[in-house]
């Protein structure tokens, strides 16, 4: 296990990019079953102030979903693996891609999930996630079905594996590209980039912050390119609380 990440001398010199599920919150049985507690809201609010706005959420969830979860907080956010992003000034950025083909794939996947009890389709609009957390024995069937659909959709889309989930997402965008976009804008530009995440999709973000000379922090066990390591969401929160003090 690698070391616990360092603390900033001045929290406002760092740009904090945080994954949500498995990082700030433990994974739930269903993505709609997570609950953001008051202590997490207070912590993020404190960190946002201490960093003078240098805090953004980077998730596979849709931005509207994230806003609902974290209300009344309204942070800069990248959703659906970098397809949609709200910058620190409140500007919305959407990356275009062929939507009709994905709508047809969504219908096909809905039927597939209906025929396989325990599978859950999460239609995020621009990403389709098939969860098998409640039916791990269906992992192979779920992966095969999504691989077949991804082949039919062609090069505009790609498969993305995760913890007990497999997704189809538009190609060319990921959590790393979202972090790069934030780092080109105020108030993030010129700061030390820090990204904390727990899953395969977060490796894109780890690569980007390492290249920028920042800190990549992996949550939980498993192989990772990240330099630093925290054990679980509780450890992440304790470390962030110390960061907010500076």
Write out the residues near Mg ion by the rule CB under 5 A.
Answer: 19, 21-22, 198-199
Least distance CB 117 / Mg ion (angstroms): 26
Is 21 marked active-site?
no
Residue positions counted in the chain: 246
Backbone angles phi, psi at 176, to 5 degrees: -65, -45
Residue with tokens 């330099």: 227
Specify the residue, 77 or 149, whose C-beta has the smaller distance to Mg ion.
77
C-beta closer to Mg ion: residue 180 or 198: 198
Q: Provide the H-helix boundaries in the chain.
A: 38-50, 63-70, 99-114, 139-153, 175-183, 202-211, 233-245
Least Å distance, CB 200 to Mg ion, is 9
**Calpha distance 82→85 (Å, rounded):** 7
Catalytic residue among 3, 10, 19, 48: 19
Rounded Cα distance between 213 and 134, Å, is: 39
Bridge partner residues of 122 (DSSP): 129
Environment class of 236 (CB within 10 Å of its CB; exposed 0-12, middle 13-18, buried 19+)? buried
**Which residues are tagged catalytic?**
19
């Amino acid at each position: 296990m690698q070391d616990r990440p360092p603390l900033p001398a001045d929290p406002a010199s760092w740009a904090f990019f945080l994954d949500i599920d498995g990082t700030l919150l433990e994974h739930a049985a269903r993505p709609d079953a997570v609950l953001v507690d008051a202590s997490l809201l207070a912590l993020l609010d404190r960190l946002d102030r201490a960093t003078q706005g240098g805090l953004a959420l980077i998730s596979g969830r849709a931005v509207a979903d994230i806003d609902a979860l974290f209300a009344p907080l309204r942070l800069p956010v990248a959703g659906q693996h970098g397809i949609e992003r709200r910058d620190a000034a409140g500007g919305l950025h959407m990356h275009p891609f062929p939507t009709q083909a994905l709508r047809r794939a969504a219908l096909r996947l809905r039927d597939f999930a209906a025929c396989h009890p325990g599978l859950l389709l999460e239609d995020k609009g621009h990403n389709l996630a098939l969860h098998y957390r409640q039916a791990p024995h269906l992992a192979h069937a779920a992966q095969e079905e999504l691989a077949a659909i991804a082949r039919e959709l062609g090069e505009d889309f790609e498969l993305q594996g995760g913890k007990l989930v497999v997704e189809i997402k538009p190609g060319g965008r990921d959590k790393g590209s979202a972090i790069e976009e934030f780092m080109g804008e105020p108030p993030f530009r010129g700061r030390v980039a820090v990204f904390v995440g727990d899953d395969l999709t977060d490796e894109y973000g780890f690569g980007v912050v390492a290249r920028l000379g920042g800190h990549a922090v992996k949550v939980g066990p498993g192989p990772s390119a990240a330099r630093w390591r925290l054990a679980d969401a509780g450890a992440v929160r304790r470390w962030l609380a110390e960061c907010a003090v500076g």
